[in-house]
Amino acid sequence: MQINPLSDVLGAEVIGIDVGNLDEVTFDKVHEAFLEHHVLVFRDQNLPPERQVAFAQRFGELDVHIQKDNKHSGHEAIQVLSNKKVNGEYIGSPSAGDAWHSDLSYTDIPTLCTMLYAMEIPEVGGDTEWSNMYRAYDTLSEEMKQRLDGLHARHTFNRFRNPRVEVPEIYKGIGKERYADIAPPDAVHPLVRTHPETGRKALYLSERFTIGIEELEEEEGQALMDELIAHQKQRDFIYRHKWSLHDLTIWDNRCLIHLACGGVPEGQIRHMHRVIVRGDKPY
Ligand code: OGA
Ligand code: MN
């Protein structure tokens, strides 16, 4: 097994292993590399759904997504991200992750890690970016760190309540009320969270899901969020991944935010299988 860093800030590719067939010792090394690099890219994996699910289960209990329409027909735990259409209908979610976020931060128990497997990739577009939230926290001024200490942010799935994101046409169609129905209750989390395995502090907010700061007046909270959101998207905190066919990526949502960059031209297909592992309550 060879581990090659993909950038100065996060990410490593793991060469020479089959994730469907790892002994305990090798898995421990993979897990260590996951904590160190936050995103791992395994090349050339052969992963039918049951093998992807089995590998994900080694990291913890699997979770299901609230958007049930993206579920793989044969495998509950697999979600399909795809711009493929059958009989005029998308067979998976075509636009998941189109604004910076950390998975399921709008729930009480957000995602530990997400695993995405590239079954079909376009020639152009479809990249994924991750930004390092340890780095974002560490580079704040001492004064800002003190200011954030003890603050909590409100997270929601509901795009209609978040002026920082667009409401795609398909959701405008189902309307505000229906959308509010499928959105779970808001979650409130510390603005700076402590990673339960490394003990390091990470900035924990995002454009997509965070709508306010509990302890501050509206205007002051929004101004602080604007400042932190600009900070967390600095290019030198970010690694951009151009997918190769049969890449499996796994990333740590407790210390990263990520973005689906889009830009796949009409007629090209991006088709991924996704599994998420349940984390614990941020503190
Ligand atoms: C996700 C996600 C980004 C992408 O699966 O949680 O945000 O590039 N995906 O598909
Ligand atoms: Mn995501």
Residues with CB under 5 A from ligand 2 (ion): 97, 103
How many A from CA of 128 to the centre of ligand 2? 10
Give, as one character, the DSSP assignment of residue 71.
Answer: B
In the predicted model, residues of the chain with pLDDT beneath 70 are: 66-69, 175, 177-181
Domain extent, residue 206, equals: 2-278
For the Cβ of 116 lying below 6 angstroms from any atom of ligand 1, the answer is yes
Beta pairing, strands 39-42 & 12-15 = parallel
Q: Are 2 and 14 in contact (CB under 8 A)?
A: yes
- Tell the residue number behind the tokens 């997509």, with chain if given: 208
C-beta 97 within 6 A of ligand 1: yes
- Per-residue pLDDT tens for 29-46? 999 999 999 999 999 999
Q: Is residue 283 part of a domain?
A: no
Q: How many CB atoms lie within 10 A of CB 220?
A: 11
Q: What is the CATH number of the domain that holds 204?
A: 3.60.130.10
Q: Is 271 near ligand 1, meaning CB less than 6 Å away?
A: no
Number of domains the chain is built from: 1
Which helix H or strand E contains 128, and what residues bound it?
strand 127-132
pLDDT at 67: 66
Nearest CA to ligand 1 atom 9: 97
Nearest CA to ligand 1 atom 2: 97
So what's the pLDDT on residue 70?
Answer: 73
Q: Is 258 in the pocket of ligand 1 (CB under 6 A)?
A: yes
Mean pLDDT of the chain: 94
Closest residue by Cα to atom 1, ligand 1, is: 97
Closest ligand 1 atom to Cα of 79: 5
Mind listing the pLDDT tens digit for each residue in 83-100?
999 888 888 888 788 899
